[in-house]
Amino acid sequence: MAVTEKKTTLDPLDFLAIDALLDDEERAIRDTVRSFVREHVLPDVGDWFEQGILPRELMTELGKLGLFGMHLDGYGLPGASAVAYGLTCLELEAGDSGVRSAVSVQGSLAMFSIWKWGSEEQKQRWLPPMHTGEAIGCFGLTEPDAGSDPGSMRTSARRDGSDWILNGAKMWITNGTVADVATVWARTEDGAINGFLVEKGMPGFTAPEIHKKLSLRASVTSELVLQDVRVPEENRFPDVDTLRGPLSCLNEARYGIVWGAVGAGRACFEAALEYSKERIVFDKPSRATS
């Protein structure tokens, strides 16, 4: 008896063949984010890249979609699966790396740092409005001379009565200029590494935007400048005083970045594939001559 081999139609844009591994909810989330990117990102992202901006209105729309901190739970957060969050990052970066970066920083750095290390009061105050996009956060760890070596950070925190006085600078901070709150990591006089919630408008705190970047142009990237910024004790993370705090946040963010890189690769492949169908060489489509 002859056995007929079943043929499977392959989707060339699913070059890792992951579609078959997803459940219905994961596919629905992926398709929702993909549609959002096509409708709200792709038509304008070229202009955003040239202007070096990411509109605040887009952050509002991303918040309405429920993407900020979607993988965290409690405090009104969805508690989505790691795969669902990864697919979201993949689809966002297929539109533009700056959009994925904004979502990653908001959810996996700023929100995660509060969710993981913040006090109950800090969580109640910040996580719900950050999830909806009403409040924007950033994450201040990298410094001009201590990017890949956070153990050499120079930003300092000095106790002054019931407050802390912060001095220093952070560099290459996504969302910095538009952020309502910044998680700032600083070294105290006894050598501990503490996290502080520095709020927009605190005297001595500024966040000038960095322009003329080579890449991630459609992204708000900033410097954080702290000059004798007085931060109350209730804005300090209570239970972390080592590099374990900021490094745990970086690990959280790297997961989404990996998925995002796959999305960027897919977008490049898709663009090259479409171009090969249109390009004419020696009076023939280029794909026919290769």
DSSP annotation string for 51-116: HT---HHHHHHHHHTT-TTTT-EETTEE---HHHHHHHHHHHHHH-HHHHHHHHIIIIIIIHHHHH
Residues 57 and 126 reside in one and the same domain: yes
Residues 107 and 142 reside in one and the same domain: no
Tokens of 205: 């705190």
Q: For residues 41 and 24, give the distance between their C-alpha atoms in angstroms, rounded to a whole number.
A: 25
Residues 65 and 162 reside in one and the same domain: no
Q: Indicate whether 290 pLDDT > 70.
A: no
Q: Which domain holds residue 51?
A: 22-135+246-280
Q: Indicate whether 9 pLDDT > 70.
A: no
What confidence tens digit (pLDDT) does each residue in 55-75 have?
999 999 999 999 999 999 999
Residue 145 counted as domain residue:
yes
Predicted pLDDT of residue 78: 95
Could you give the number of structural domains in the chain? 2
Neighbours of 49 (CB within 10 A): 17
Residues 151 and 216 reside in one and the same domain: yes
Predicted pLDDT of residue 12: 67
Residue 151 counted as domain residue:
yes
Residues 69 and 29 reside in one and the same domain: yes
Give the end-to-end CA distance of the chain in Å, rounded to a whole number: 41
Residue 153 counted as domain residue:
yes
| Reported confidence tier of residue 280, pLDDT bands at 50, 70, 90 | confident
Q: Indicate whether 5 pLDDT > 50.
A: no
Predicted pLDDT of residue 4: 44
Residues 224 and 189 reside in one and the same domain: yes
Residues 104 and 195 reside in one and the same domain: no
Over range 39-49, report the average pLDDT: 96
Residues 41 and 168 reside in one and the same domain: no
Q: Indicate whether 137 pLDDT > 80.
A: yes
| Reported confidence tier of residue 53, pLDDT bands at 50, 70, 90 | very high
Residues 163 and 209 reside in one and the same domain: yes
Could you tell me which residues come within 8 angstroms of residue 69 by beta carbon, excluding any fewer than 6 positions away? Answer: 77, 106, 107, 111, 112, 115, 127, 130, 131
Residue 213 counted as domain residue:
yes
Note the pTM of the prediction, 2 decimals: 0.90
Residue 4 counted as domain residue:
no
Neighbours of 122 (CB within 10 A): 20
The answer to whether 252 and 107 have CB atoms below 8 angstroms apart is no
Predicted pLDDT of residue 193: 96
Q: Indicate whether 165 pLDDT > 90.
A: yes
* 7-13 contact pairs (CB < 8 A, 24+): 12/273, 13/266, 13/269, 13/270, 13/273
Q: Which CATH number is 172's domain given?
A: 2.40.110.10
| Helix and strand counts by DSSP (H, E) for the chain | 9, 11
Predicted pLDDT of residue 18: 86
Q: Which CATH number is 269's domain given?
A: 1.10.540.10
Predicted pLDDT of residue 10: 60
Predicted pLDDT of residue 284: 74
Which among 151, 149, 73, 147 is positioned nearest to 112, based on CA atoms?
73
Residues 77 and 215 reside in one and the same domain: no
Residue 85 counted as domain residue:
yes
Residue 287 counted as domain residue:
no
Residues 253 and 234 reside in one and the same domain: no
Pairing of β 73-74 and β 284-285: unpaired
What confidence tens digit (pLDDT) does each residue in 146-160 have?
777 888 899 999 999
Residues 26 and 122 reside in one and the same domain: yes
Q: Indicate whether 257 pLDDT > 90.
A: yes
| Reported confidence tier of residue 6, pLDDT bands at 50, 70, 90 | very low
The answer to whether 241 and 194 have CB atoms below 8 angstroms apart is yes
Pairing of β 181-188 and β 137-140: parallel
Higher pLDDT, 37 or 4: 37
Helix or strand or coil: residue 134? coil
Residue 289 counted as domain residue:
no
Tokens of 273: 């594939």
Could you tell me which residues come within 8 angstroms of residue 97 by beta carbon, excluding any fewer than 6 positions away? Answer: 215, 216, 218, 219, 260, 264
